[in-house]
Amino acid sequence: MRLLRSTDLALRLLMRLAVLEGGTPTTREVAADMEVPYTHAAKVVAELQHLGLVDARRGRGGGLSLSDRGRTASVGAVVRAFEGDGDVVECEGDSPCPLNSGCRLRGALRRAQEAFFASLDPLTLADVTADPTGPLLLQIGRTP
């Protein structure tokens, strides 16, 4: 299973915000630091804000910060929110699979997907930003 780019960016953005002390970077700064297009970062920030994980303030003195909910959020819950609960493979749609009526693979893939999410559920941002990751996150975007 491969995560969507938006899921990857959401996790990295949350991790970055989790280690910043007192800083409130703007979406534009985060996009530049993580070397992603501003429009992509803005969509991810909007979704994180909608989920209640990030507080975004506009104007002078504004920027991004983790909400209380964001500090305690499960990594698995974040991944589920961005990835959705769709099947790993497309069994129906424009060209439905001919095995659809008697396929045992679909259920096995669903169980594997749930096991993947379940393995991420107990992890929090504190878990994934502990040393040595935290100090590395602080170096992102800095020029030597």
* 92 C-beta neighbours (distance < 10 Å), count: 9
Query: How many angstroms separate the CA atoms of 127 and 81, rounded?
Result: 19
Q: Find tokens 């970055």 and name the residue.
A: 16
State pLDDT tens for residues 58-68: 877 789 999 99
82 and 6 Cβ atoms separated by less than 8 Å: yes
State pLDDT tens for residues 90-104: 777 777 778 777 788
45 and 64 Cβ atoms separated by less than 8 Å: yes
State pLDDT tens for residues 29-87: 999 988 999 999 999 999 999 999 999 988 777 899 999 999 899 999 999 999 987 77
Compute the residue count for the chain.
Answer: 144
Amino acid identity, position 59: G
Question: Measured between alpha carbons, how far is residue 47 from residues 96, 98, 139 in Å?
Answer: 31, 36, 25
Query: How many angstroms separate the CA atoms of 114 and 76, rounded?
Result: 10
The pTM (predicted TM-score) of the whole model is: 0.85
